[in-house]
Amino acid sequence: MGKIKKKFSEGSSRTYTTRNRALRKLQVSLADFRRLCILKGIYPVEPRSQKKANRGSSKPTTFYYAKDIQLLLSEPLIAKFREHKIFLRKLQRALGKDDLTRAKGLETRRPEYTLDHLVIERYPAFVDALRDLDDALCMVFLFATMPTVSKVTNEIVEDCKRLSTEFMHYVIHSHCLRKVFLSIKGIYYQAEIQGQSITWIVPYQFSQNVPLDVDFKVMGTFLQFYRTLLGFVNYRLYTTSNLSYPPKVDQSMDDSAAGLGSLRIEAKRVEDLIKATQPTETTVPEVAMTKEMKQRMETLGSKIKKIVAADTTAPAYESVGDADGDQDDESQQSDNQLFAKQVFYLSREVPRYSLEFVIRAFGGRLGWDQTSGGGSPYAENDRTITVQISDRPVQGHQFLDRIYVQPQWVYDSINARRLLDVDDYLIGQTLPAHLSPFVEYEEGDYVPEAASKLAAAAGFEGEVTNLKPEDRDQSEDSEEEDVADIDGASADEDAPDSDDDEEDEDAIAEKQHQKQLLAERAGVSFSEYQQKQTAKPKPTAAGKKRSKAEIEEEERQKIAISMLSKKKRKVVNRTQADAYKKAKDVNTLKTRKAQAAKSAKGKKN
């Protein structure tokens, strides 16, 4: 007889551990554990069988991977947390005894810790970090606009501002911004860095209200890690694109609320040169000097001159862009430098914080009103300005040599990847709908009119083949299709699984509703529509035949479904229900569109 195996010595109960067990093992408080989890990126998991994982108990519990907890055991942060706890105790004692000198001395020796090792641990490769940058960016951009609250001090906010500005500068410099979307929540940006799509949202710059039901301690912990992460990412991004990091702060510009302009982005080479002149800090050995580098060194002098010259006239980024520009691919450049030939001027009412970033990211130059910050390279009466972005119902004085557009034009142009016709976007015009660039259309999806128009205008036949303008006056044929579609959809309701009478009634009601909708689409009252239908029951023989074949096919389908196993039948029914729901949603949108168009027409008349 073999040795009796101990219970719970292997399997699920070994793979997982509960939170309480983890706490006992790590000997930390719950708050510390949570902090650790946030910083280390450890998350609870859901075992397949809770009962097995929890040693036979089915009590609701939080589970973690036992391996994760094991790894936490050797985490240096735990020791740091303990140190901090001891420090606090000492400090409190000193303060309690009114021993201020001691307290001061302690304060100077406040234990501090960095999260550098966590960055490399969580993201072993730089690409991993980029992939997970969305949340970090959202948080940092949010806190850059936050008022200081407890747990989020002024330094943190300043740091967030700085980090976010640095990142924006990189995006501007590398022209990697792809999509922008003005949502009701904020402005979404999507950039593509090293093949990774990074999306983040920036709130509209109003004073953020600080809600009471939010635990800023938790958010602060997240932010602590995200700041570290973003700092390292920024460093890497800057250094790999030959920029010096950290960028220098132009104090005078910063004081005049220049926003993006307060940081001076400089090419790394200049810094290297300075470093090279200092004998102690020579990092590049002589042997490593490649031919290319030598060449660069030779041209360095002239370039520095150029940069210095440019610095005096225009912001630094342009010169850097110029310096790097010659390496870029021509076509890529044209795509990413949409506004290269434009000079913008922002009126004071438009959001400069977004437009400056966006326009510069697409190669445009711009000036702005003095009231929205200092450091504008162009005055309003500059003759080189080609586009003035203005968001007011009426523009008083207008320069004749420029066009006045509403800000949406910039965003829509970016999403369309070409300069759109300005006619729809002129001052006082009712703007065309602003669509999300993130939506990808699949077969059967509803395509808004604006999107199809855009696609048609752009002539992207290959890319969006299924984009067909949803026009009301289409041929009878398409109408037919719709009818068939609807029938198909409603027939799903008659599927064998749905055996309740209620459901049937629903289906009937739905059918009726669809018919009504059709009637509406045809632009007649429902009763009229019905009369028509009954009067001429679909004359064309071909249509009838097809519908009969379809009905047969459909019946066959239904019969076939009855032969499926329960599991598969559920899946099929679900997919069919999904398809039906989708069709229903599309239909609702279509009818709403029709209604809106109708009411708009009525207004015009």
Residue type, 258: A
Q: How far is CA 337 from CA 37, 361, 365, in A?
A: 42, 8, 11
For position 157 contacting other proteins by CB under 8 A, the verdict is no
From 76-84, 435-443, 460-468, 506-514, span contacting other proteins (CB under 8 A) = 435-443
Taking the CB of residue 294, how many other CB atoms lie within 10 A of it?
10
Among 12, 148, 196, 208, indicate the residue that binds other proteins (CB under 8 A).
208
DSSP one-letter string for 284-332:
S-GGG--HHHHHHHHHHHHHHHHHHHHHHHS-HHHHHHHHHHTTS-HHH
Residue 376 CB, nearest approach to other proteins (Å): 20
Per CB under 8 A, 325 contacts other proteins: no
What's the token pair of residue 116? 């550098």
Which CB atom, from 310 or from 426, has the smaller least distance to other proteins? Answer: 426
Q: Is residue 217 close enough to count as binding other proteins by CB under 8 A?
A: no
> Considering beta carbons, is residue 377 or 448 the nearer one to other proteins?
448
Residue 408 touching other proteins (CB under 8 A):
yes
**Does 85 interact with other proteins (rule: CB under 8 A)?**
no
Name the minimum Å distance from CB 364 to other proteins: 18
For 422, the 3-state DSSP assignment is helix
Residue from 24, 93, 97, 104 touching other proteins (CB under 8 A): that is 104
- Pairwise CA distance, residues 413 & 339, whole Å: 10
**Residues recorded for the chain:** 605
Say how far apart CA 200 and CA 185 lie, in whole Å. Answer: 12
Regarding 209 and contact with other proteins (CB under 8 A), the answer is yes
- The C-alpha atoms of residue 558 and residue 495 are separated, in whole angstroms, by 7
Transcribe 28-55 into DSSP letters: --HHHHHHHHHHHT---B--S-HHHHTT
Q: Which is nearer to other proteins, 325 or 432 (CB)?
A: 432
What would the two tokens of residue 282 be?
């020579």
CA-angle at 522, arms to 519 and 526, nearest 5°: 25
Judged by CB under 8 A, the residue of 247, 321, 351, 363 near other proteins is 351
- 466: contact with other proteins by CB under 8 A: no
120: contact with other proteins by CB under 8 A: yes
Q: Which of residues 45-84 bind other proteins (CB under 8 A)?
A: 45-46, 62-63, 67, 71
- Minimum distance from residue 275 beta carbon to other proteins (Å): 13
**Using alpha carbons only, how large is the chain's radius of gyration in Å?**
32
Which residue, chain included where needed, has tokens 């407890």? 150
Q: Which stretch binds other proteins (CB under 8 A): 277-285, 307-315, 318-326, 590-598?
A: 590-598
34 binds other proteins, rule: CB under 8 A:
yes
The conformation of residue 267, written as its DSSP 8-state character, comes to B
End-to-end CA distance of the chain: 95
Of 18, 336, 406, 490, the residue at the interface with other proteins (CB under 8 A) is 406
Q: Which of 22, 38, 253, 518 binds other proteins (CB under 8 A)?
A: 38
Task: Rule CB under 8 A: choose which of 126, 399, 460, 526 binds other proteins.
Answer: 126
Site for other proteins, residues 134 to 153, rule: CB under 8 A: 134-135, 138-139, 142, 146
Only one of the segments 168-176, 198-206, 308-316, 325-333 lies at the binding site for other proteins (rule: CB under 8 A); that segment is: 198-206
Instruction: Estimate to the nearest angstrom the gap between the alpha carbon of 457 and the chain centroid.
Output: 27
Report how far apart, in Å, the C-alpha atoms of 45 and of each of 59, 107, 314 are. Answer: 15, 40, 54
Q: Which is nearer to other proteins, 230 or 403 (CB)?
A: 230
Q: Is 219 in the site for other proteins (CB under 8 A)?
A: yes
| Closer residue to other proteins in complex, CB, 290/430 | 430
Task: Based on the shown chain and the rule CB under 8 A, indicate whether residue 468 belongs to the binding site for other proteins.
Answer: no
3-state per-residue secondary structure call for 432-488: CCCCCCCCCCCCCCCCCHHHHHHHHHHCCCCCCCCCCCCCCCCCHHHHHHHHHHHHH
Nearer Cβ to other proteins (166/260):
166
Q: Identify which range of 51-59, 85-93, 214-222, 361-369 contacts other proteins by CB under 8 A.
A: 214-222
Distance CA 597, CA 449 (A): 11
Query: Rule CB under 8 A: which of 222-241 touch other proteins?
Result: 222, 231-232, 234-236, 239
Residues 76, 105, 469, 523: which binds other proteins (CB under 8 A)? Answer: 105
Q: Which of 257, 304, 426, 564 binds other proteins (CB under 8 A)?
A: 564
Residue 60 or residue 537: which is nearer to other proteins going by CB?
60
Binder to other proteins among 111, 203, 374, 377 (CB under 8 A)? 203
x-or-dash pattern for other proteins, window 375-404, by CB under 8 A?
----------------xx------------
Q: In Å, how far from its chain's centre is CA 128?
A: 17
| 131 lies in the site for other proteins, by CB under 8 A | yes
Looking at beta carbons only, is 156 or 307 nearer to other proteins?
156
Structure-derived torsion over alpha carbons of residues 117, 119, 121, 126, reported in degrees to the nearest 10? -130
Cα–Cα distances in angstroms (integers) from residue 589 to residues 172, 487, 521, in the given order: 38, 18, 12
Nearer to other proteins, 326 or 501 (CB): 501
d(CA 2, CA 238): 64
User: What part of residues 522-561 is at the interface with other proteins (CB under 8 A)?
Assistant: 555-557, 559-561
Question: Which two tokens mark 14?
Answer: 């070994």
| Least Cβ distance, residue 138 to other proteins (angstroms) | 6
